[in-house]
Chain A
Amino acid sequence: MTLNLDHFETSLLFAVFSSVVLGIVTKRTTDERVKYGLYCFACFLAALFGIGWFMRILHG
């Protein structure tokens, strides 16, 4: 079995896994962890779409 995920799908997976672990290890309460995890995920998405559009504009 082989998966053929594209760049966007792989980035999304990375964003989810990283956000969960970052939320767990950096904050002290469950509420803070959830909020920070969501914040990290939003930042990953913003970077993903931001850099994507930047590259599109740059390359025309």
Chain B
Amino acid sequence: MPATTVAATATEPIRSPFLVILLAWLVPGGGHFLLGKRGRALLIFACVLLSFLFGVLMRGPLFQPSGGADVLSKLIQYGGFLGDLAAGIPYLVVSFFGYAPPDSASHVADYGSKLIVAAGLLNILAIVDAYEIATRQKE
């Protein structure tokens, strides 16, 4: 019986996975920080935030959940919007302060837009990793 108790305890989550996911989304690296993985949290925070900041400084436009009439345009706009949104608080802050550069034909703005989406996608990887740590699927 003691062995069963130990095994049952070992498989219990360290923290609420929901809380970890929420914090990891809002603050890049926040999920890892909550789980005591400070070094990894700092690196994730720096990478996601810097990618987002470089994108904003390059005046990359944010994707909007709308789109053109055709399916491909809608797919690109909605997918990009989800990518932007996944960055968490950085996205919410710039949206709150009305960041909306014009969607120009400049290649620099286009690269910036991609860096902003990349920040969100990297944060999604970090969220999944934090969830796996919280549910003890990995350390």
Contact = CB atoms under 8 A, between A and B. Distances in A.
Interface of A: 1-5, 7, 10, 13-14, 16-18, 20-22, 24-25, 28
A44 to B, nearest CB: 12
Contacts of B115: 10, 13-14
Interface size class of chain B, counting residues whose CB lies under 8 Å from the partner chain: 20 to 34
Nearest to A11: B111
Given A25-B125, A25-B128, A3 B44 contact: no
Given A3-B54, A7-B111, A28-B138, A17 B125 contact: no
Contacts of A13: 50-51, 54, 115
A14 B58 contact: no
